[in-house]
Amino acid sequence: MRRFARRATAILAAEKRFLRSSPVRTRRTPASGGATADRLRRHWPEYLIEAWGLGTFMVSAVLFTALLEYPGWGLPQWLPEPDRRRLLIALAMGLTALCIIYSPWGKRSGAHINPAVTFTFWRLGKIRTADALFYAAAQFAGGTAGVLLSALLLGPVIAAPSVNYAVTVPGPAGVGVAFACEFVIAFLMMTTVLHTSNRPRFAPFTGLFAGGLIVLYVGFESPFSGFGMNPARTFASALPAGVWTAAWIYFVVPVAAMLSAAEIYVRTHGISRVRCAKLQHGDAEQCIFRCGYRQPPTQNLP
């Protein structure tokens, strides 16, 4: 365990060195209290949408896990193959993500529902600091509220070993494998989002690609790491469950992996090829980001 903790520290140090040498030059101006209050006053709907989005995702995750895994409800006996049950959970989670991303609310906030995604777009200069902080706070609060709501609906079922608040913990292969898997899935997710959302031909299908990856991750990767990829999602389950096994992996690795994917994308394609921080951009919804769809992407925005 100490060895992997040292490895996480080394990753963070390497990430700092990487960021210093990065071609990304995010322009940040100190945010005064008045500016922060103004952001909160004007953008609170987007913050609440982020809370709603991850809360909805967590309710879906817990309820479908209980439905398909809790032995007292009979479905595990009716469908005894765990791989098939996990695939059904994966399909439910992918469809939930699609509904969030393509909903009018999801198109308005950008449907990050993940602090690692938000922080990466902040690093790319697409989100102002105050908005990024409020987004992350809303994601943590919304995810936790979703699990607590599920606890109210399910009662003691949510604490059953087969459900256990849908916590993310390393699988039987151990912490090292979970570490590697979390890095790979987060890296691939951000790489996919950047390559699809910034190409007009593929941009309308970014949500489909993201939802498809979630299906694959839950269906095939979750036995190794539990499918975290999202610090707020891990926190939301760990807090009420009281289970923090190797939690540092799920807080550190997704952020490092997504930042690495973004740096590689910028070094390969240029910062001007990052158009916006939304997964699905619509013309009807307001955009609070430094948006290249409404202004030329190379313009130096405040």
pLDDT in tens, 130-183: 999 999 999 999 999 999 999 999 999 999 999 999 999 999 999 999 999 999
pLDDT tens, residue by residue, 233-251: 999 999 999 999 999 999 9
Chain centre to alpha carbon of residue 130? 19
pLDDT of 2 reads 55
The residue among 295 and 177 whose pLDDT is bigger is 177
CA separation for the pair 193, 262 (Å, rounded) = 10
Task: Please tell us whether the domain made up of 39-273 is placed in CATH 3.40.50.1010.
Answer: no
Please tell me the pTM assigned to this model: 0.86
Q: What is the mean pLDDT of the chain?
A: 89
pLDDT of 296 reads 45
pLDDT tens, residue by residue, 195-247: 999 999 999 999 999 999 999 999 999 999 999 999 999 999 999 999 999 99
